[in-house]
Amino acid sequence: MIRKPIALLNILIAAVSFYLIAVRSDWGFVYWLLSSTAPFMILTAVAVFFKIRILQGLLLPALLFFSIGALAAYEFTWGTFFAILGALVMLASAIYIIVRNISKLVIVRLLIRFLIGTVLLVSFLFLRERIIPEPELREITAAEINIFDK
């Protein structure tokens, strides 16, 4: 059976990601949960291992968005490496799920779940942006530095 190794590989990479991001850095568990691919990898592992089809369909957009996000990382670190590796493993999991269930009805169901998952993922990303906002970049003027105020 190919689904057990895929599920175990997902969980292993998620665990390494958890160690690198949540344990070794100062960011902690919440940042790991909101910013890494690991929670989706764990759900993918559960979906593949237990053949939960609704979960499989909902994870497909997450795989797509987080694969792009992992590849668009600013600098290479071990965390980035495992995020990219995790994204590739999840993509392989998604391809395995689709290939195993080829029929017109299943493809229609997967597309419906994909649309639902896309809506849920976009709302998750919007919520994540509210919780962890991107820092604003702007120029600092001389008055703010107080160079000329003596």
Q: What is the DSSP string of 69-132?
A: HHHT-SS--HHHHHHHHHHHHHHHHHHHHHHHT-SHHHHHHHHHHHHHHHHHHHHHHHHHHHHS
Closest listed residue to residue 14, CA positions, set 41, 48, 51: 41
Q: What is the mean pLDDT of residues 62-85?
A: 57
Q: What is the mean pLDDT of residues 71-85?
A: 57
Q: Is the pLDDT of residue 32 over 60?
A: no
Residue span of the structural domain in which 13 resides: 3-134
Q: Is the pLDDT of residue 27 over 60?
A: no
Q: What is the mean pLDDT of residues 83-98?
A: 64
- Residue 119 inside a domain? The answer is yes
**Model confidence band, residue 46 (pLDDT cutoffs 50, 70, 90):** confident
Amino acid at 23: V
- Residue 22 inside a domain? The answer is yes
Total structural domains within the chain: 1
- Residue 147 inside a domain? The answer is no
Alpha carbons 118 and 125: distance in angstroms, whole number: 10
- Residue 150 inside a domain? The answer is no
- Residue 144 inside a domain? The answer is no
How distant, in Å, are the alpha carbons of 3, 28, 40, 56, 142 from that of 47? 10, 26, 10, 6, 56
Q: What is the mean pLDDT of residues 2-24?
A: 63
Q: What is the mean pLDDT of residues 107-132?
A: 63
